């Protein structure tokens, strides 16, 4: 498959460029000046493989004189094809293929089992496991060469992508000695895609899975999806929504899932399915889904056998149970352990796992929704089956712009916990707001639980090193859809990229990842990279400032989560309403989760709890998450809370205006198609940031009656105007 995304559109053929397209390519080569920024639609993501500067290309071509890959398996062929594709695009010509190293500068790729020349090098690969790889400068038969070696073909594929990334980011290829292995075993995307192709909390078009045409038509886009995921080390995908449909487990849809699994398999990606807990009743004809009922257990075992007959390398089930109306074991007076272990028992003979979500809240009104997952899961620590991962969101509420780390991390040392991040920006401006989530992921992963003393970070909880777990994982709620640029906006691709890199190694730095992505996506020119990275690194904090500063949270419009609605109240459940979370009145604002309030702080280790419980010590970014404080409360700046809140709102809006100026200054350095869309989206973001600021201030003033501090403009419209705005068709709603 050849993809050409320059000029006026995309050109695809099954076997290569036909005669007519060769003529077009020649015409472009003659009439377009070298290096001109051509229109791009974002489909190629960070795998653009555009030509590097000629002097650099010549140096790289000298380092890669021939390509030696034994392509005897589908994965090895995918590796060879990717290297040919990448080197052709980057260097202007792919090196010739050879059966063995025969000249200086050869690139030798494979495993000791597939390559006698690699075997003869006796490289130490033991610690790399099944997915790790080694990239090393070596000598073979007196010739200097580069070896990409692994224990498996998938490891070699990952190494090939890393090697191409070196060229894409303008790194030297001499004296290489790179050893990489994933820190987490299960690195998956969670697609909240429905069988009708609607994507819950999706802002990039409809689902990429064309269920109606599967299994007969396997869209080439599925291969591009697999390539993109493999390039950043993602090794699994959950195809369907956690609010699942039992039809996904019927023979018709298993056949469709098997077709996707066949496309993904060469790229090391396993298919998983969200399992509806009541499936034995809905498609199995049983009268109950009680996990302790023998007939129900037999049904799930038979269903697991059926799934594995269709998909021999099936990964397992993801389950959302007894949350937001979904069925689960508590419907029958059973526990999460009863439900998870029943499914684990069915999957265990096949090597499958259960990812059991800890995002739950009770049917009854709790005193504090943030406490429920801890209360329901901690008593069962150590009782889950060995092939169960408890999947925990990064924070205790629901993917807010900022939350303290979930108290479950560190509280269940006998149970492997799997991180769940959201890539799609349900609460951070959908696809139109530029909000690079790498710093948010990093903030959570580096948070110190202190359960084993200082250094007991969340990253060490989930990578298994803190408590000795072998089964580890990270999940990301995907932002992928049918839009040509996959994620709804070009910068939202960075969040998919950052998730994959951090799932591979949760100890990486968000800024390093941003710089890598910017070089691969836009340009290696420092005049582009540095301002783009600077924009990205402050963008999430700006969203926090203009939406939910100082620990405020869940102030978005009910249901659709679009726009500010801090006044919203009156739901059938109080904890669906913003007023439940900010508790603002004439005297103060914030949710008291301290020892004199809901005492949610007690769910953290004592040193962390003591810090969060003390209004003088709690980090100000979490002040109103843990404390209800007076409007006149003095912050570290010396300003009262009210003045500080206004300063944060204005700082957020100003940052977006600054991003617009920066991006405008990159005109001519970024291809015009992508530059224009980003510019338009930044204009939307500035307008909506101002709306957030004005509507929020108008509402707080209606409660506290305080004047604005000097130098800060009042909202241009009265509160009732902001309250009158309705958005019944906002995208991505369930």
In a domain, 203, yes or no: yes
Token representation of residue 592:
């008291």
**Is 692 in contact with 429 (CB distance < 8 Å)?**
no
Report helix, strand or coil for 280. Answer: helix
Residues with Cβ within 8 Å of residue 58, at least 6 apart in sequence: none
Q: Which residues contact 86 (CB under 8 A, 6 or more apart)?
A: 47, 49, 164, 167
Token pair 């005897």 is at which residue?
72
Q: What does the pLDDT read at residue 22?
A: 35
Q: Which of 494, 496, 500, 486 is nearest to 515 (CA)?
A: 494
Q: Give the pLDDT score at 566.
A: 98
Q: Compute how many other C-beta atoms are within 10 angstroms of the C-beta atom of residue 213.
A: 12
Share of the chain above pLDDT 70, in %: 94
- Kindly provide the residue ranges of all beta strands, DSSP E only, lying in 303-387, ordered along the sequence: 316-319, 353-357
State whether 241 and 303 are in the same domain: yes
Does 316 lie in the same domain as 463?
yes
Distances, alpha carbon 90 to alpha carbons 84, 453, 494, 516, in Å: 10, 48, 21, 16
Q: How confident is the model at residue 38 (pLDDT cuts 50, 70, 90)?
A: low
Please say if the pLDDT value at position 8 is more than 80.
no
The predicted-structure confidence for 624-678, as pLDDT tens digits, reads as follows 999 999 999 999 999 999 999 999 999 999 999 999 999 999 999 999 999 999 9
Strands 473-477 and 417-422: parallel
Residue 579's domain spans which residues?
545-591+628-724
Is the predicted pLDDT of residue 31 greater than 90, yes or no? no
Query: Is the pLDDT reported for residue 202 higher than 70?
Result: yes
Measured between alpha carbons, how far is 340 from 354 in angstroms, rounded to an integer?
7
Kindly give the pairing relationship between strand 236-238 and strand 270-274: parallel
Going from the C-alpha of 10 to that of each of 45, 46, 73, the distances in angstroms are: 14, 17, 29
CA distances from 144 to 102, 150, 157, 173 (A): 10, 19, 22, 12
CATH number at residue 169: 3.30.379.10
pLDDT at 572: 86
User: Domain ends where: 180, 208, 240?
Assistant: 180
Is 516 among the domain residues? no
CB 429 within 8 A of CB 682: no
Same domain membership, residue 350 and residue 291:
yes
**Residue 547 confidence (pLDDT):** 98
Could you tell me the pLDDT band of residue 301, with boundaries at 50, 70 and 90?
Answer: very high
Residues 6+ apart with CB under 8 A from 110: 68, 69, 70, 76, 118, 148, 149, 150, 153, 156
CA distances from residue 673 to 261, 485, 518, 605, 678 in whole angstroms, order as listed: 34, 12, 17, 50, 9
Q: Which of 180, 215, 238 is the last residue of a domain?
A: 180
Q: Phi first, then psi: what are they for 475, rounded to 5°?
A: -120, 145
- The number of C-alpha atoms within 13 Å of 516 and in the hemisphere containing its C-beta is 23
Secondary structure class of 139 (helix, strand, coil): strand
Query: Is 204 in the same domain as 159?
Result: no
* Pair 147, 64: CB distance under 8 Å: no
Q: Which residues pair with 388 in a beta bridge?
A: 354
Residues 355 and 394 in one domain: yes
Query: What is the mean predicted confidence (pLDDT) over 155-175?
Result: 98
CA-based nearest residue to 28, from 4, 49, 44, 3 = 4
Calculate mean pLDDT across residues 494-517.
Answer: 98
Establish if 732 belongs to a structural domain.
no
Do the Cβ atoms of 584 and 628 come closer than 8 Å? no
The answer to whether residue 404 is domain-embedded is: yes
pLDDT at 217 over 90: yes
Are 226 and 152 in a shared domain? Answer: no
Report the pLDDT value the prediction gives residue 39, as an integer from 0 to 100.
67
Compute the average pLDDT of residues 96-123: 96
Assess whether 142 and 277 both reside in one domain: no
Q: Which residues contact 153 (CB under 8 A, 6 or more apart)?
A: 73, 75, 76, 79, 110, 111, 114
DSSP string, 60-95: HHHH--EEEE---SHHHHHHHHHHHHHHHHHHSSPP
Domain boundary residue, one of 483, 508, 533: 508
For residues 271 and 407, membership in a common domain is answered with yes
Domain-embedded: residue 409: yes
Band of residue 11 on the pLDDT scale cut at 50, 70, 90: very low
Reported as a single tens digit per residue, the pLDDT across 263-284 is: 999 999 999 999 999 999 999 9
Which single residue is written with the structure tokens 């109103």? 624
- What phi, psi does 684 have (nearest 5°)? -60, -45
Which residues, listed in sequence order, are joined to residue 134 by a DSSP beta bridge? 149, 179
Cα Dmax for the chain: 82
Cβ contact 62:503 at 8 Å? no
Query: Structurally, how many domains does the chain consist of?
Result: 3
Q: Given this model, what pLDDT does residue 7 score?
A: 30
Q: What region, left, alpha or beta, does residue 681 occupy, with left being phi > 0 and alpha being psi -120 to 50 degrees?
A: alpha
491: domain CATH number? 3.20.20.80
Other Cβ atoms less than 10 A from the Cβ of 169: the count is 15
Pairing of strands 11-13, 106-110: unpaired
Q: Does the pLDDT of residue 584 top 90, yes or no?
A: yes
Query: Residue 678's domain is classified under what CATH number?
Result: 3.90.1330.10
Note whether residue 292 is domain-resident.
Answer: yes
pLDDT in tens, 355-409: 999 999 876 767 899 999 999 999 999 999 999 999 999 999 999 999 999 999 9
pLDDT in tens, 586-599: 999 999 999 999 99
Closest listed residue to residue 558, CA positions, set 394, 398, 433, 396:
398
The Cα–Cα gap between 523 and 669 comes to 8
Q: What is the mean pLDDT of the chain?
A: 94
Do 426 and 575 lie in one domain? The reply is: no
Pairing outcome for strands 388-393 and 417-422 = parallel
Q: Do residues 493 and 485 make contact, with C-beta atoms less than 8 angstroms apart?
A: yes
Read off φ and ψ for residue 267, nearest 5 degrees: -100, 15
How much of the chain exceeds pLDDT 90, in percent?
A: 93
Same domain for 207 and 64, yes or no, is no
Q: Is residue 620 part of a domain?
A: no
pLDDT per position as a tens digit, 687-724: 999 999 999 999 999 999 999 999 999 999 999 999 99
Both 113 and 228 in a single domain? no
35-51 average pLDDT score: 83
Place of tokens 């943030």: 370
- Whether residue 685 lies inside any domain: the answer is yes
User: What is the set of active-site residues?
Assistant: 324, 398, 426
- Give yes or no: residues 158 and 270 share one domain: no
Distance CA 50, CA 58 (A): 15
């Amino acid at each position: 498959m050849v993809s050409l995304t320059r000029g006026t559109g995309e050109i695809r053929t099954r076997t290569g460029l036909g005669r007519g397209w060769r003529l077009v390519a020649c015409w472009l080569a003659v009439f377009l000046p070298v290096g001109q920024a051509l229109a791009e639609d974002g489909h190629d993501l960070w795998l653009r493989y555009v030509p590097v500067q000629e002097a650099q290309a010549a140096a790289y071509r000298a380092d890669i004189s021939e390509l030696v890959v034994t392509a005897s398996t589908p994965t090895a062929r995918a590796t060879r094809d990717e290297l040919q594709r990448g080197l052709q695009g980057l260097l202007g010509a792919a090196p010739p293929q050879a059966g063995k190293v025969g000249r200086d500068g050869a690139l030798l790729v494979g495993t000791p089992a597939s390559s006698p020349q690699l075997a003869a090098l006796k490289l130490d690969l033991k610690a790399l496991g099944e997915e790790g790889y080694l990239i090393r400068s070596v000598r073979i038969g007196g010739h200097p060469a580069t070896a990409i070696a692994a224990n498996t073909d998938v490891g070699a594929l990952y190494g090939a992508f890393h090697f191409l990334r070196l060229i894409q980011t303008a790194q030297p290829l001499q004296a290489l000695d790179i050893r990489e292995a994933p820190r987490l075993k299960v690195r998956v995307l969670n697609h909240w895609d429905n069988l009708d192709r609607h994507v819950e909390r999706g802002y990039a078009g409809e689902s990429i899975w064309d269920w109606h045409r599967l299994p007969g038509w396997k869209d080439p886009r599925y291969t591009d999806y697999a390539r993109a995921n493999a390039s950043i080390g993602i090794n699994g995908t959950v195809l369907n929504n956690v609010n699942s449909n039992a039809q996904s487990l019927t023979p018709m849809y298993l056949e469709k899932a098997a077709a996707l699994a066949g496309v993904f398999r060469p790229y090391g990606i396993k298919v998983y399915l969200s399992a509806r807990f009541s499936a034995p009743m809905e498609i199995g004809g049983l009268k109950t889904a009680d996990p302790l009922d023998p007939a129900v257990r037999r049904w799930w075992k038979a269903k697991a056998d059926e799934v594995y007959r269709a998909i021999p390398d099936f990964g397992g089930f993801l389950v959302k149970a007894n949350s937001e109306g979904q069925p689960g074991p508590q419907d029958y007076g059973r526990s999460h352990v009863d439900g998870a272990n029943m499914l684990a028992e069915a999957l265990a003979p096949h090597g499958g796992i259960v990812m059991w979500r800890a995002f739950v809240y009770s049917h009854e009104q709790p005193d504090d929704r943030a406490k429920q997952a801890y209360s329901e899961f901690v008593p069962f620590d150590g009782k889950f089956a060995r092939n169960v991962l408890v999947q925990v969101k990064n924070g205790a509420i629901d993917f807010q712009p900022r939350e303290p780390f979930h108290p479950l991390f560190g509280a269940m040392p006998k149970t492997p916990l799997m991180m769940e991040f959201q890539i799609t920006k349900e609460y951070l401006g959908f696809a139109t707001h530029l909000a690079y989530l790498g710093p948010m992921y990093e903030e959570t992963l580096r948070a110190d639980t202190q359960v084993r003393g200082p250094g007991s970070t969340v990253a060490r909880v989930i990578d298994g090193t803190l408590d000795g777990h072998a089964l580890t994982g990270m999940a990301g709620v995907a932002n992928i859809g049918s839009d040509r640029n996959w994620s709804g906006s070009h910068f939202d691709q960075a969040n998919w990229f950052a998730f994959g890199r951090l799932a591979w190694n949760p100890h990486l730095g968000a800024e390093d990842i941003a710089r890598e992505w910017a070089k691969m996506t836009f340009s290696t020119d420092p005049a582009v990279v540095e301002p783009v990275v600077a924009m990205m690194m402050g963008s999430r904090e700006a969203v926090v400032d203009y939406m939910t500063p100082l620990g405020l949270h869940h102030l978005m419009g009910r249901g659709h989560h679009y726009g500010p609605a801090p006044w919203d109240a009156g739901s059938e459940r109080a904890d669906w309403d913003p007023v439940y979370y900010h508790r603002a009145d004439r005297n103060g604002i914030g949710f008291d989760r301290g020892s004199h309030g809901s005492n949610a702080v007690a769910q953290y280790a004592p040193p962390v709890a003591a810090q969060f419980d003390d209004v003088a010590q709690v980090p100000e970014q979490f002040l109103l998450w843990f404390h209800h404080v007076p409007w006149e409360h003095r912050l570290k700046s010396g300003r009262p809370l009210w003045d500080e809140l206004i300063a944060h709102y204005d700082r957020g809006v100003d940052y977006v205006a600054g991003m617009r100026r920066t991006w405008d200054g990159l005109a001519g350095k970024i291809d015009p198609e992508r530059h224009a869309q980003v510019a338009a989206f930044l204009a939307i973001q500035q307008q909506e940031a101002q709306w957030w600021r004005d509507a929020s201030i108008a509402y707080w003033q209606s409660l506290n009656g305080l004047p604005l501090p000097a130098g800060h403009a009042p909202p241009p419209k009265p509160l009732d105007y902001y309250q009158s705005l309705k958005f019944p068709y906002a995208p991505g709603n369930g």
